[in-house]
Structure 1
Amino acid sequence: MVLMRRLLRRHSVLPGFDLALGFTLLYLSFIVLIPLSAAFLKTATMTWPAFWDTVTSPRVMASYRLTFGASFAAALINAAFGLVVAWVLVRYDFPFKRLVDALVDLPFALPTAVAGIALTALYAENGWIGQLLPFKVAFTPLGVFVALTFIGLPFVVRTLQPVMEDMHHEIEEAAATLGANRWQTFRRVLLPILTPPLLTGFALAFARALGEYGSVIFIAGNMPMISEITPLLIITKLEQYDYTGATALAVVMLVAAFALLLGINALQAWARARQGR
């Protein structure tokens, strides 16, 4: 039997493990590893004092606070409201449901520059929404938050939808039979199942927001120390031919994003292990 399996594996029409693994590593090397390594190698040409001065200047630190803070806040909002949107799309039937479901994917299909121009037109002081608000949105850090929330929502909704569709109503009926109310059923039965995909959607939205550029620069105002994001600083340094400074900021963003995503993935693994127990 073992010999037969080996013969079948050897003469299989589909690529074997060795070929598939080699192609995967080659593809990832050209697309991901080599470009990222180039950034680290370019940064390595700087001395440590020069690197530290570049990545910790007051203007850069202000951009860190805005970029990471707004991205984290936008991902949190998307996690909360994305859960509600996914629940409504899965559990209820209503007129124009297909249209609403398609609108969720609009940030995926819409060019980021177009999204930024549209959001700016809406939330400017003379815009349709901005003129009704008692506070200013466009050209402020709040505008950055709005843009990052817009582009991150689909990641949460599309991550949660398949899991919700696979959940059986019998577990809710069983919980109700045992005396649980609706809140207890959601908190003790449904939420543990939804926590891993919810964390995944949060991580995807957060990572997407960290690198967002096109939809933010129009609505942010790009005022140094106030509404300037780190990706814009990287572009500015490239336009000034400061390639080492640009790669230094890029390395900081890469390391910070990787560390945060690693922590979120560890939390997700813990949630899955707890759910399994």
Structure 2
Amino acid sequence: MPIGEITRGTTNTNRLRRVDRFISTVPALRLSADPLVVDLGYGASGVTAFELQQRLARFRSDVEVVGFEISPDRVRTATEQLEAVRAGSTSFAPDARVSFALGGFETPLPHGRRAAVIRAFNVLRQYDESEVADAWTRMVARLQPGGVLVEGTCNEIGRVASWVSVTSAGPQTFTISLRLSEIEKPSIVAERLPKALIHHNVPGQPIHALLSDLDRAWQHNAGVGVYGATQRWLASVEALDAGGWSILGARSRRRLGELTVPWAQVAPV
């Protein structure tokens, strides 16, 4: 039996574009001899799996995406959507390497295959925090050597998101991604933190310190906003870096509204 609980199934076109953009940079995908990516818990529509394959194919033309759901009805719906894709009646390539199957955290890939990347978005939000570690362990066990689990949450239209990158060595990084032109302050992401962090956004916890420092830097650099939200964000991130936070990733990623730090700096204490 599939391991997990049926999610609400909320699915919107382009909802996961921010995390997909991040996944396209993951070395495990770019270097894999078998660029297999799992979309775990894709919801009531298979559209996020098709979008994921379409985006990643720009960097790995041979990428393959398998969508897993624990609801037979959702698998049936996504398979019908796949038939429409194969018939050429959608905007997706008729030969897109996408398939759907019944499965949960156990990620039952056939023939002993393992995934280079597993994307599990808006899946653990309904679970108790005590269940997160076990879910991570189950999914990571289905990764290729060097593979990555990207687990997180976003809002309904995908403009506020955050996620954790997890490997066989445990959680490695934490990332925030925001549509900068629409935020009053960066801590809006507090509503969309991964389950492992969302209940720890309180004084005395590292994640609270990060979001508080980020808000202060954003406010301090309000004047830079005359040059655009991106410049204000870059100045804010630089302030965090100068203040002792270890900011990871290239400047080009930050320009997209991303901020990545080592997991060790935000892990609950």
What is the TM-score when the length of structure 1 is the normalising length?
0.23
- Higher strand proportion (structure 1 or 2): 2
- Higher-Rg member (1/2): 1
What is the TM-score when the length of structure 2 is the normalising length?
0.24
- Higher helix proportion (structure 1 or 2): 1
Q: Comparing both chains, which one has the higher relative contact order based on Cα–Cα distances under 8 Å and sequence gaps of 6 or more?
A: 1
